[in-house]
């Protein structure tokens, strides 16, 4: 049976047609009746269908017959966006081959290159596939040349397809059967399986998606988690399917399946852990994959303060489905109790916040995203901070180290000047520049802090959407940075503090308070909004007071009556100002994200 199993992933840049190809393969294998077919079947979340992107890697087991032989195809559809590359690395760790999809009109993009390197690290058989050949502007020969030139893969055996029309898909499935190696494992050895995905089901509890490397997992078997040393009984086993998973009594060597343990809590299942038999355990764990390291941090707070425990429960359940998020409790004078949450990027942050709100019915507010910093203090100790409010006073700081990333940007040569100007504005340093046909491949080191907010949007707008961008962390480097505080009515709003380069502090501060002036509602007294570095105020705006017409009741009479009332009002406003508290509305925090 094992020699007839094929485990493979689909990898590509965003919008090159991974999910559409998955639909065609499912259709070709007859796994779903034509009347039940929908576009992007593997994208099961509402948010994926609305945004038209894949967020979670999804698996499906398909049956295919070639030359009278029955084959089992385990297909994994992966995301394309750089923020979800962790999903790609997990999927590739459990595969034996990968379909590299390249758009016949766009050619090689930044994520194409990044995903190929992950596949090469896992020693996978890579099948180049040129998609969208039905488009008038398709140029498959040029694209295959680009693949050989930029990546160095031999493209003599490649498949030309149109995932939209189904052209060439059957030949591609035959190529998968012929070229992707079957899994290699010992059927008689003790159970050894890798958990490569997990999620929480309200009826079944915590579920684990596993790839069995040795032995088998049987219904009713007592299994052990190698890392946590916990033991559980297997209640049920299923094969993954986009519509309805099918039950089974055993998952054999080389197969992929869902293990149901009936766990009510999410702590026992960890992605990357090895499952083995409790009575006859395997000797060593499977090399899983590097745990994801979040490098964008933001505070997430419930708008209703009594929902703090609900938010904790929601984050625990979501972490089972997306192990790349991390969180710890924190409190803010402005926002109450919440969690400091770590993400892989800005899109990841947006998606997690939206999933928490939709799937767990919460109203949340997120603070300005920041990155992690390392601080060398004057006494020689080193600390790391995720929140700008934790930054020590300047006289205790020797050096601030900020995280850098290696950015790979592919851009048409006509926009090269715009992109280099943008990179220089963002304090980036060039490593190399190569030409691939009419496009330029740029390799730059850039501070993470500079790309976390608006870099991707600016890159797209300066290149009319033609640039593609990928990055990977490369460690910490010293930076000349300062903490910028925002004071409203003389009080620092801790949730609005950010760390900025020294030479940009003035412009950032002015930009910041100008936006806040429009957002903070007028009070019965004047409200000063100030940007400060330490005790020095570097910029100020004033929200004018609203005037109440206290002289409305004076009809005629001596002018001194009106003056007396106005003086009384003036004294009242002064007293109010001394004890006045200003509520900073939610829109103000959202404006921070836009700056």
pLDDT digits (tens, 9 = 90+) for 458-507: 887 888 777 878 787 888 999 888 888 888 877 777 777 888 888 888 88
Asked whether the domain spanning 373-479 has the same topology as the one spanning 296-366, the reply is yes
Per-residue model confidence (pLDDT) at position 124: 85
* Closest C-alpha to 264, from 226, 314, 223, 207: 207
* Closest C-alpha to 113, from 409, 465, 473, 435: 409
Alpha carbon distance 213, 378 (integer Å): 52
Specify whether the CB–CB gap between 113 and 408 falls below 8 A: yes
Average predicted confidence (pLDDT) for the chain: 80
Q: How confident is the model at residue 583 (pLDDT cuts 50, 70, 90)?
A: low
Domain ranges, ordered by start, for the chain: 2-179, 192-277, 296-366, 373-479, 497-594
Burial (0-12, 13-18, 19+ Cβ within 10 Å), 486: buried
Confirm or deny that 18 is annotated as ligand binding.
yes
The yes-or-no verdict on residue 545 having pLDDT over 70 is yes
Give, to the nearest 10 degrees, the angle between helix 455-462 and helix 416-425: 160
Q: How confident is the model at residue 37 (pLDDT cuts 50, 70, 90)?
A: low
Specify whether the CB–CB gap between 208 and 251 falls below 8 A: no
Alpha carbon distance 109, 128 (integer Å): 14
Which residues are CB-neighbours of 568 under 8 A, at least 6 positions away? 550
Q: Hey, which of 31-35, 288-292, 494-498 has the most confident mean pLDDT? A: 494-498
Tell me what percent of the residues of the chain surpass a pLDDT of 70: 85
Q: How confident is the model at residue 591 (pLDDT cuts 50, 70, 90)?
A: low
Alpha carbon distance 64, 524 (integer Å): 74
The residue-averaged pLDDT of 527-553 equals 78
* Residue whose tokens read 């290699």: 184
CA distances from 406 to 114, 350, 443, 475, 574 (A): 12, 23, 7, 10, 54
Specify whether the CB–CB gap between 367 and 592 falls below 8 A: yes
Position with higher pLDDT, 540 vs 588: 540
Per-residue model confidence (pLDDT) at position 575: 54
Angle at the Cα of 494 from the Cα atoms of 513 and 474, rounded to 5 degrees: 90
Max CA distance (Å), the chain: 108
Alpha carbon distance 235, 221 (integer Å): 8
The yes-or-no verdict on residue 338 having pLDDT over 60 is yes
Q: Which two tokens stand for residue 169?
A: 């898909």
Q: Does residue 8 sit in helix, strand or coil?
A: strand
Q: Which two tokens stand for residue 204?
A: 């079944």
Confirm or deny that 17 is annotated as ligand binding.
yes
Specify whether the CB–CB gap between 390 and 416 falls below 8 A: no
What is the per-residue pLDDT across 379-405, written as a single tens digit (0 to 9) for each?
888 888 877 878 888 888 888 898 888
Angle at the Cα of 43 from the Cα atoms of 13 and 184, rounded to 5 degrees: 75
- Among 261-275, 406-420, 462-476, the range scoring the smallest mean pLDDT is 261-275
Give, to the nearest 10 degrees, the angle between helix 169-179 and helix 18-28: 90
Q: Which two tokens stand for residue 375?
A: 């601080």
The residue-averaged pLDDT of 272-285 equals 81
Q: How confident is the model at residue 26 (pLDDT cuts 50, 70, 90)?
A: confident
Confirm or deny that 4 is annotated as ligand binding.
no
Neighbours of 210 (CB within 10 A): 25
* Residue whose tokens read 């303060």: 305
Position with higher pLDDT, 277 vs 454: 277
Position with higher pLDDT, 513 vs 36: 513
Confirm or deny that 23 is annotated as ligand binding.
no
Could you tell me whether strands 336-343 and 364-366 are parallel, antiparallel, or unpaired per DSSP bridges? unpaired
* CATH T-level topology, domain 192-277: Elongation Factor Tu (Ef-tu); domain 3 (2.40.30)
> To the nearest 10°, the Cα dihedral for 13, 19, 25, 27?
-160
Angle at the Cα of 63 from the Cα atoms of 59 and 64, rounded to 5 degrees: 120
CA distances from 563 to 524, 526, 555, 557, 572 (A): 19, 21, 14, 12, 14
What is the per-residue pLDDT across 136-191, written as a single tens digit (0 to 9) for each?
888 888 888 888 887 778 878 888 888 888 888 888 888 888 888 888 888 888 88
Confirm or deny that 95 is annotated as ligand binding.
no
Is the full-model pTM beyond 0.75? no
Q: Does residue 80 sit in helix, strand or coil?
A: coil
Q: Domain 296-366's class?
A: alpha beta
Confirm or deny that 20 is annotated as ligand binding.
yes
Per-residue model confidence (pLDDT) at position 440: 87
Burial (0-12, 13-18, 19+ Cβ within 10 Å), 513: buried
Architecture of domain 497-594: 2-Layer Sandwich (3.30)
Burial (0-12, 13-18, 19+ Cβ within 10 Å), 437: middle
* Closest C-alpha to 39, from 19, 16, 55: 19
Out of 3.40.50.300, 1.20.1300.10, 3.30.420.130, 3.30.750.24, which CATH number does the structure's domain 2-179 have? 3.40.50.300
Confirm or deny that 249 is annotated as ligand binding.
no
Per-residue model confidence (pLDDT) at position 44: 55
Burial (0-12, 13-18, 19+ Cβ within 10 Å), 333: exposed
* CATH T-level topology, domain 373-479: Alpha-Beta Plaits (3.30.70)
Per-residue model confidence (pLDDT) at position 503: 83
Per-residue model confidence (pLDDT) at position 342: 85
The residue-averaged pLDDT of 360-368 equals 82
Per-residue model confidence (pLDDT) at position 445: 92
Per-residue model confidence (pLDDT) at position 289: 61
Alpha carbon distance 223, 287 (integer Å): 19
């Amino acid at each position: 049976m094992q020699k007839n199993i094929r485990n493979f992933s689909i990898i590509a840049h965003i919008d090159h047609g991974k999910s559409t190809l998955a639909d065609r393969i499912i259709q070709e294998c007859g796994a779903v009746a034509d009347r039940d077919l929908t576009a992007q079947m593997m994208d099961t979340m509402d948010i994926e269908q609305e945004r038209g992107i894949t967020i979670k890697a999804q698996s499906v087991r398909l049956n295919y017959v070639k030359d009278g032989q029955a084959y089992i195809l385990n297909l994994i559809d992966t995301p394309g966006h750089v923020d979800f590359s962790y999903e790609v690395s997990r999927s590739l760790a459990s595969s034996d081959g990968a379909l590299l999809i390249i758009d016949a009109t766009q050619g090689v993009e930044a994520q194409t290159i990044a995903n190929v390197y992950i596949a090469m690290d896992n020693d996978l058989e890579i099948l180049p596939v040129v998609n969208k050949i039905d488009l008038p502007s398709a140029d498959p020969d040029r694209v295959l040349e680009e693949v050989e030139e930029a990546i160095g893969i031999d493209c003599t055996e490649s498949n030309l397809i149109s995932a939209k029309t189904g052209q060439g898909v059957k030949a591609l499935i035959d190529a998968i059967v012929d070229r992707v190696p079957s899994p290699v494992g010992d059927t008689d050895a003790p159970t050894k399986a890798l958990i490569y995905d997990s999620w929480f089901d309200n009826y079944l509890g915590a579920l684990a998606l596993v790839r069995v490397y040795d032995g088998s997992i049987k219904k009713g078997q007592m299994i052990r988690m190698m890392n946590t040393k916990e033991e559980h009984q297997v209640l049920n086993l299923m094969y993954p399917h986009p519509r309805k998973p099918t039950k089974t009594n055993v998952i054999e060597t080389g197969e992929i399946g869902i293990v149901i343990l009936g766990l009510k809590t999410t702590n026992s299942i960890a992605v990357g852990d090895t499952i083995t038999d409790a009575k006859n355990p395997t000797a060593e764990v499977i090399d899983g994959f590097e745990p994801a390291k979040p490098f964008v941090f933001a505070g997430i707070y419930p708008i209703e303060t009594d929902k703090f425990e609900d938010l904790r429960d929601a984050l625990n359940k979501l972490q089972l489905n997306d192990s790349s998020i991390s969180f710890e409790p924190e409190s803010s004078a402005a926002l109450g109790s919440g969690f400091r949450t770590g993400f892989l990027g800005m899109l990841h942050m947006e998606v997690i916040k939206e999933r928490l709100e939709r799937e767990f019915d919460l109203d949340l507010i997120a603070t300005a995203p920041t990155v992690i910093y390392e601080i060398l203090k004057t006494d020689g100790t080193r600390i790391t901070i995720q929140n700008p409010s934790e930054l020590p006073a300047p006289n205790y700081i020797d050096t601030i180290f900020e995280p850098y990333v290696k950015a790979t940007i592919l851009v048409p040569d006509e926009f090269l000047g715009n992109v280099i100007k943008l990179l220089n504005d963002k304090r980036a340093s060039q490593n190399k520049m190569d030409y691939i046909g009419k496009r330029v491949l740029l390799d730059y080191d850039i501070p993470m802090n500079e790309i976390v907010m608006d870099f991707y949007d600016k890159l797209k707008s300066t290149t009319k959407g033609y640039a593609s961008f990928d990055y990977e962390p490369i460690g910490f480097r010293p930076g000349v940075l300062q903490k910028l505080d925002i004071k409203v009515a003389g009080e620092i709003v801790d949730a609005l503090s950010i760390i900025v380069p020294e030479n940009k502090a003035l412009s950032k501060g002015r930009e910041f308070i100008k936006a806040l002036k429009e957002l903070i509602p007028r009070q019965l007294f004047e409200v000063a909004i100030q940007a400060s570095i330490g005790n020095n105020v570097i910029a100020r705006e004033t929200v004018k007071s609203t005037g109440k017409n206290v002289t409305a009741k004076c009809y005629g009479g001596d002018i001194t009556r009106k003056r007396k009332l106005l003086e009384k009002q003036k004294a009242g406003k002064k007293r109010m100002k001394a004890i006045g508290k200003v509520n900073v509305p939610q829109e103000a925090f959202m404006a921070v994200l836009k700056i």
